[in-house]
Structure 1
Amino acid sequence: MSVFSERLTSARKAMGWTRKRAVAEFQLPYQTYSNYEQGKREPDINTMKQLANKLNTTTDYLTGVTDNPNLPSVSNTDLEAMLDTAHSYDGKPMNDHDREIIKTYLKGYFQGKE
């Protein structure tokens, strides 16, 4: 088994998912996903990102760059700065227009809390 296949399997089990559930979550053919876990095949970068996002981990962890499976914690970071660098939400791509809509909504929300 490769580092990727071992970590993918471990992350899936940490979520409490069976392979069948993982296939449904990732919307992948069963054989494709099974090949990933068996180390017979590795996903392209976009699929790798999707796997990491849904498993609440990072691509760096799945590929063995780091041994820490946890997402980096964010502290004292301005939400606006975070949105400026956001590229996707729930695996769906975001563009500049999407980010501006979210910022406008949040500004209105927080002004209403004052």
Structure 2
Amino acid sequence: MAVGDKIAELRNRRGLSQYQLAKMLNVATSTLGMYETNKRKPNVEMLEKIADVFDVTTDYLLGRDKADTKNPQNDLSRNQKLVAYSIDPDISDEERQAIIEMVQAAKKFRRRI
């Protein structure tokens, strides 16, 4: 799978529009669209930004690593774990992981402001 395909897949998995992701990356929507259609390749700095937004490695984006995420359980603060596990004890592991990812994304977004 090409870099652009992985970016689009990760964006869709997170429920983000191209506009939202482009804004997070500080690029034009058309630039992001060209990345996703593999008409343009992101430079190293942009790959790092994209990897940070999705909490994946640049190796994953480049197809060198099959694991699509870093191990989020090891990177969570105590408060993040409390939020993820206390929202509803009956939610599925997939829903809990989505909450963890949202908390991490919000934390990264806040750092950029």
TM-score band (shorter)? 0.5 to 0.7
SS at match of 1:14: helix
SS at match of 1:9: helix
Give, as a single letter, the amino acid of the residue that structure 2 aligns with 1:67: K
Q: Tell me if 1:5 matches 2:4.
A: yes
Q: RMSD in angstroms over aligned alpha carbons?
A: 2.3
Measured in 1, the distance between the counterparts of 2:17 and 2:29 equals: 11
Q: Deviations over 1:61-100 (max 9, x none)?
A: 111001110114649xxxxxxxxxxxxxx598xxxxxxxx
Give, as a single letter, the amino acid of the residue that structure 2 aligns with 1:63: L
Q: Tell me if 1:35 matches 2:34.
A: yes
Over 2 Å off, 4+ runs? 72-75
**Match of residue 110 from structure 1:** none
Normalising by structure 1, we get a TM-score of 0.60
State the structure with more CA Rg: 1
Q: Which runs of 5 or more structure 1 residues have no equivalent in the other structure?
A: 76-89, 93-114
Paired residue total: 78
Q: Which runs of 5 or more structure 2 residues have no equivalent in the other structure?
A: 76-107
Q: Deviations over 1:26-79 (max 9, x none)?
A: 11011111100000011110110001101121111111001110114649xxxx
1:1-114 equivalent positions in 2, closer than 5 A: 3-72=2-71, 74=74, 90=108
Percent identity of the aligned residues?
19
Measured in 2, the distance between the counterparts of 1:34 and 1:62 equals: 16
Normalising by structure 2, we get a TM-score of 0.61
Measured in 1, the distance between the counterparts of 2:71 and 2:3 equals: 19
Greater share of residues in helix: 2
SS at match of 2:23: helix
